[in-house]
Amino acid sequence: MTLNDPWKGRPRQPTIAAMDTTTAPLPPAAARKAPLLVAALLACYLVWGSTYLAIRIALVSLPPFFQMGTRFLVAGALLMAWVRWRGGPWPSAAQWRNALVVGGLMLGVGMGLVASAEQHVGSGLIAAFIAVVPMMVCGWGLAFGRRPARLELAGMAVGLAGVLLLVRGAGFSAAPAGIAAITAATLAWSLGSVLSTTRAPLAPGPSGFASEMLCGGAVLMATSLVLREQPAWPVAPQAAAAWLYLVVFGSLIAFSAYLYLLAHASPAVAHQLRAGEPADRAAAGRRRRGRGRERRRVGGLRGDPGRRAADLQRESGLKTP
């Protein structure tokens, strides 16, 4: 006797294995974006912390706003020339306006005051202040209607704990003018970061990165002219090398990578990388005389490769206060 298959002729339902999507491949767009996100994260992680020491080295011959202005103007011009050579778009008038707003905040105020504060603030305190930027970003984000995720809040809590460990006790040497400058810099940087992803979007891709550098560099140079800054000619070799490092690695690579993260990840994710900067900055102090207290503080932040900044200073032969 042959039993009839009751499902014969009917479309079969997918099996559990067929319905499992945990191993499904990523969409093509996401698959292409993932390696770029990883590369951008690595670029920021490996380079950014060392740029603060490079700024200090360049201050030997180049005053702060002049140094930052020439750095971003040259980097922006090179990047825009590459974009146009590749047939990329020229930003619209509205995008140039947004670049002026965002670049003026992040670079004109943020980076300009950071470089200025390097003249008055001790080795690790600048990066310690900047490690609080993720919380400022979330604060500005709340003002624009964006609530942080729990994972972002957890990451910020860890970063803040590291900052408190770093600056506990006597802290690092700092003048009131330096504290005021770095506070204003972090506020302006975090606001510009949020505006670039909400109210003042830049041109897409490298064209937007270049336009922000050009506008920010112009604001920095205008400030330098108002302040009547005078570079020390001839420029010291170590200052020239540090400036070139800032143009290539600090601006063309790390800053462009940071802007890419802002455009394709949450601002808090991009800024979590900066929570590791106190270790980079404080590790440089381990190579200096009379900085035994910093050695203990670095111990609490060993999650990051902090020896890069110290190696840069040792090779330059520059002694900083």
DSSP class per residue in 49-60: HHHHHHHHHHTT
Residue 181 has pLDDT above 70, yes or no: yes
Q: Write down the number of H helices and E strands in the chain.
A: 16, 0
Of the candidate ranges 112-116, 132-136, 248-252, the one whose mean pLDDT is the lowest: 132-136
Nearest CA-CA partner of 316 in 290, 288, 295: 288
Say how far apart CA 134 and CA 267 lie, in whole Å: 8
Nearest CA-CA partner of 270 in 279, 260, 278, 280: 260
Nearest CA-CA partner of 251 in 109, 135, 103: 103
Domain map (residue ranges) of the chain? 68-316
Question: Which position has the higher pLDDT, 143 or 15?
Answer: 143
Mean pLDDT on 201-206: 89
Say how far apart CA 58 and CA 303 lie, in whole Å: 28
* Residue 121, helix vs strand vs coil: strand
Mean pLDDT on 89-111: 95
- Tokens for 216? 């920010």
Mean pLDDT on 91-109: 95
* DSSP conformational letter for 273: G
Say how far apart CA 58 and CA 201 lie, in whole Å: 32
Say how far apart CA 19 and CA 280 lie, in whole Å: 47
Residue 320, pLDDT score: 38
Nearest CA-CA partner of 44 in 251, 316, 211: 251
Q: What percentage of the chain carries pLDDT values higher than 90?
A: 33
Chain CA centroid to CA 113, Å: 15
* Residue 174, helix vs strand vs coil: strand
Which single residue is written with the structure tokens 């670029």?
A: 43
Residue 285, pLDDT score: 46
